[in-house]
Amino acid sequence: MSDPSTFMLNSITDMQLTADGQYLLIHGNQPTAALHRSVLNDLLVALPNAIEHADRVIHNNQEMGFALHCQGWEVGRLNGMEMVVIRFRLSGSAGLSFSLPAEQIPYLLQALGGAASATAAPADPRAKDVTLQ
């Protein structure tokens, strides 16, 4: 992975948005990388997948899963929409929100109840190491 247009970023010392909010500047052990805001959603999807895949390769364990640590959560609706928004607060006060149709909430509650129950067997064998807050 060393072609002339690729640079290796092994550490991040600081991140900031430009004043106009158009770019995320990533400072580290290489020249500053500037990511346009239009690619941030794609990056958000790619990073957890890359972390999980890398851990599976490094540990030679194809069943290994990945979960972000959550410090808190909120549930609500935006502007009277039919979608329910669930927002998780991650370390460093970062927020990550998901929306889902309101009619799926009973199924979500059922799944959470099953996972939180001390007597319920995990639906997924990898879930035994996951705790809910």
Domain membership of residue 116 (yes or no) is yes
Would you say residue 5 lies in a domain? no
Same domain for 50 and 83?
Answer: no
pLDDT tens digit sequence for 35-49: 999 999 899 889 888
Does 65 map to a domain?
A: no
Q: Give the integer Cα–Cα distance in Å for 79 and 47.
A: 30
Is 86 within the bounds of a domain?
yes
**What is the pLDDT at residue 93?**
78
In a domain, 3, yes or no: no
**Counting Cβ atoms within 10 Å, is residue 28 exposed (0-12), middle (13-18) or buried (19+)?**
middle
**How far apart are the C-alpha atoms of 76 and 85, rounded to whole Å?**
5
Q: What's the burial of 87, exposed, middle or buried (CB within 10 Å: 0-12/13-18/19+)?
A: middle
Task: Tokens for 69, please give them.
Answer: 């640590």
Find the helix or strand (DSSP H, E) in which 77 lies: strand 70-77
Question: pLDDT tens digits for 62-86?
Answer: 887 777 888 888 888 877 778 899 9
User: Is this prediction's pTM over 0.75?
Assistant: no
**Residue 7 located in a structural domain:** no
Q: Does the pLDDT of residue 131 top 50, yes or no?
A: no
